[in-house]
Amino acid sequence: QVQLVESGGGLVQAGGSLRLSCAASGVTFSTYVMGWFRQAPGKEREFVAAIRRSGSITYYADSAKGRFTISRDNAKNTVSLQMNSLKPEDMAVYYCAAGNFNVAINSVSASSSYHSWGPGTQVTVSS
């Protein structure tokens, strides 16, 4: 199992940007598909973005397309989420997650496809 710790959350005005980072322990980081999920109060946890181990294949929720960018640095065991043009509805706790490399395309957005989770980082967007 890989251990994950998120950072970079905070308070930002609508229209602003934040960059979330997730540091992973373990020497097999490069074999995992990595994902970002979020959960707002009273709502289900939802998929935001995911990235395959090579870094060249990415997936985004419709709500994130065009505004968020996921990237990874396998040499540093990190995955990042650059969030631009933030909206009040983006406010949530953001979680980093790791899944097996062979997660099917139609399963990358399912939280059940991921076996390791970070504790989360709060993103607050003021209007």
* pLDDT (tens digit per residue) in 37-83: 999 999 999 999 999 999 999 999 999 999 999 999 999 999 999 99
Ramachandran class of 67: left when φ > 0, alpha when ψ lies in -120 to 50, beta otherwise: alpha
Q: What is the pLDDT of residues 98-117, one digit of tens each?
A: 998 899 999 999 999 999 99
Query: 10 in helix, strand or coil?
Result: strand
Contact 1, 97 (CB under 8 A): no
Residue pair 100/26 in contact by the 8 Å Cβ criterion: no
CB 19 within 8 A of CB 70: no
* Cβ-based neighbours of 29, under 8 Å, separated by 6 or more: 2, 74, 77, 98
On whether the CB atoms of residues 91 and 19 are closer than 8 A, the answer is no
Query: Can you read off the two tokens belonging to residue 97?
Result: 């997650």
